[in-house]
Amino acid sequence: MFYTTLNCYHIVLIIRRFVPIDMFSVIKLASETLPERYSPSLFNFFYETYPKGFIVAEKDHKIIGFIIGVQMKPEKGKILMLSVLEKYRLQGIGSKLLAEYLKSISDEKIKTVALEVRTDNKKAIKFYQRYGFKIKKKLSEFYQNGEDAYTMAKEV
């Protein structure tokens, strides 16, 4: 778990592992911030499959961001979702979530972490590039609405 103090008001941001009581808040946040619609059972599946890769950001007892990552193969991890509420973006919360996920998998044999991102999501692409992710290939019609994606990856 990671704690940090933001600004002069000493508002504590907590980065911690997801617990089942967070489920409703995470599903609500995903529906507000991500264009895809996901079945609630999918979040439960990810948690049960790889709980160490499901991390939330909490402020004032409210979930304001999350990351879901899984181990795909013994040497490959994958970030499935990373989201922060709009009013909390550009405050380093996504960076802290990503860092905590990468730290959480450091005791595994994972050598590569991959993800997909919409080709028109320039902010997300720049964000991941700042942390060493590189575009590997384009996936045509990857998303439910037919939009294309880039696969990005980084060595860890």
pLDDT of residue 47: 93
Q: Looking at this protein, which amino acid is placed at residue 96?
A: K
Q: What is the pLDDT of residues 132-150, one digit of tens each?
A: 999 999 999 898 888 899 9
pLDDT tens digits along 5-58: 455 555 689 999 999 999 999 999 999 998 888 888 999 999 999 999 999 999
- C-alpha to C-alpha distance for 145 and 135, rounded to whole angstroms: 21
Going by C-alpha positions, the residue among 72, 65, 71, 38 that lies closest to residue 52 is 71
Please list, residue by residue across 46-73, b when 16 or more beta carbons sit within 10 angstroms of its beta carbon and e when fewer do: bbeebeebbbbbbbeeebbbbbbbbbee
CATH architecture of 2-110: 3-Layer(aba) Sandwich (3.40)
The torsion defined by the Cα of 30, 33, 36 and 42, in degrees rounded to 10, comes to: -10
